Amino acid sequence: MSGSREIKNLLYDQVARIGKAVSSPKRLELLEILCQGEKSVEQLALDSHISLKLASAHLKELKSARLVVTRREGKNIYYRLVDSHVATLWVELRSLAEERLLELQSAMQALVSRPDELAPITGSELLAQAKRGDIVVIDVRPASEFMQAHLPYARSMPVTELRKRMNEIPRDKSVVAYCRGPFCLMAKEAVELLSKEGVCARRIELGVAEWHAQGLPLVREF
């Protein structure tokens, strides 16, 4: 085998490391969670509903492919994405799958329980309406994720606190909820709860990763 062929094989081998790292459904879920910001190993295990041991193993694979980095604080280890390109990789990969795979399209459609559940609005339109005060945008992710990055004009209202904070929701305006992205069910749960309380509520499928991928601004508290 010629030297040039060996070099070419090596090039493809290195790119394939990324493909191998994202070939696991659970590692993809971990990447989606990390798109929300830095998290401890324990929190990642909890959010992805797997054991700490399995979460550590998956994160090791992602780190080996240089998709995530770590920092230690005392006995705790925290993970974050290397940079925004990794978040864009997740968004583009998911978007391609949704475009090409009928099974995924069907599964996505099954998430919509009623025709008016999704707000028919673009990101720029959402920004304009929220700025004018025509709508109320709520971020129903955990408050720690909101603090790391959120949509402009959004209010932090975690879905776990929503029932107790219902009095903070204005009844004279439409409410638009968002969470981690199209695969996340927190916004759907929030809309169902708000609708039962008589609030005009819808959700958008955009999360902070999708928002950033479209070139729209984010607010970063840290």
Catalytic (active-site) positions: 179
DSSP string, the chain: --HHHHHHHHHHHHHHHHHHHT-SHHHHHHHHHHTT--EEHHHHHHHHTS-HHHHHHHHHHHHHTTSEEEEEETTEEEEEESSHHHHHHHHHHHHHHHHH-HHHHHHHHHT--STTSB----HHHHHHHHHHTSEEEEE-S-HHHHHH-B-TTEEE--TTTTTTTGGGS-SSSEEEEE-SSTT--HHHHHHHHHHHTT--EEE-S--HHHHHHTT---B---
